[in-house]
Amino acid sequence: MFLASEVMLFGGLFSAYVFLRLAAPEGDFAYWGSKLNVPLATLNTLVLISSSVTVIMSWASLKLKDFEKYKLYMGLTLLCATIFLVIKYFEYTSKFHHGYYPSSSNFMAIYFTLTGLHGLHIIGGMIVMTYFWLPAGNKLWHTDPEHFTNRIEIAGLYWHFVDLVWIFLFPILYLL
């Protein structure tokens, strides 16, 4: 149900994107979209897809009762998430450096809103996964392994959802 509500949250913003695009002058969105960095966004897409694999591998490791591998894969997931945010930071600062802000155009407004909200979801996921990665959060594994494995599965579902959102954000903002 939580993920369903998240779909509707992003659904509303995707709807706003369609609305703005339809109302924009011909070629306006394509013009502003060309200001974005496609190679960096492609790299970020690959990084996020990789993090989706590592998070599910961390869950599979717990299923195989291999706690050390879980720690490794969860650590890699956090590393991928950090790389994603660092790349996003460089993208944002480059836009600001060139004088592009949310107030510059409707495209930039929806670009910063969608990617900003997505970035906040990345940070939220990182906080939860860092907790489960650290001894304070993963001590449950030693007392109730099945319960802990379920928690990681749920955290993974959330993370895959964040990946899903990016899969649609990437083409509509950067490529169209």
Is residue 64 within the footprint of another protein (CB under 8 A)? yes
> Which long-range contacts link 23-32 to residues 24+ away (Cβ below 8 Å)?
23/106, 24/106, 24/107, 28/105, 28/106, 28/107, 29/107, 29/176, 30/176, 32/104, 32/105, 32/107, 32/108, 32/111
CA 115 – CA 95 distance, rounded (Å): 13
What is the residue whose two structure tokens read 């659904």?
11
Q: Which of 31, 34, 38, 101 binds another protein (CB under 8 A)?
A: 38
Give CA–CA dist 122/136, Å, rounded. Answer: 21
The only residue of 2, 30, 96, 116 in contact with another protein, by rule CB under 8 A:
30
- Residue placing its CB nearer to another protein in the complex, 86 or 167: 167
Q: Report long-range pairs for 155-158 (Cβ below 8 Å, ≥24 apart).
A: 155/55, 155/125, 155/128, 155/129, 156/55, 156/56, 156/58, 156/59, 157/3, 158/2, 158/3, 158/125, 158/128
Whole-number minimum distance, CB 57 to another protein, in Å?
Answer: 7
Considering only residues 2, 8, 90, 146, which one is a binding residue for another protein as defined by CB under 8 A?
8
Q: Does 86 bind another protein (CB under 8 A)?
A: no
CB of 160 to another protein, least distance (A): 5
Q: At closest approach, how far in Å is the CB of 81 from another protein?
A: 16
Asked whether the beta carbons of 111 and 24 are under 8 A apart, the reply is no
- Stretch of 22-30, 92-100, 103-111, 118-126 contacting another protein, by CB under 8 A: 22-30
Interface with another protein (CB under 8 A), residue from 2, 31, 63, 89: 63
Of 52, 106, 138, 149, the residue at the interface with another protein (CB under 8 A) is 52
Q: Which residues bind another protein (CB under 8 A)?
A: 1, 4, 7-8, 11-12, 14-15, 18-19, 22-23, 30, 38, 42, 45-46, 49-50, 52-53, 56-57, 60, 63-65, 156-157, 160-161, 163-164, 167-168, 170-172, 175-176
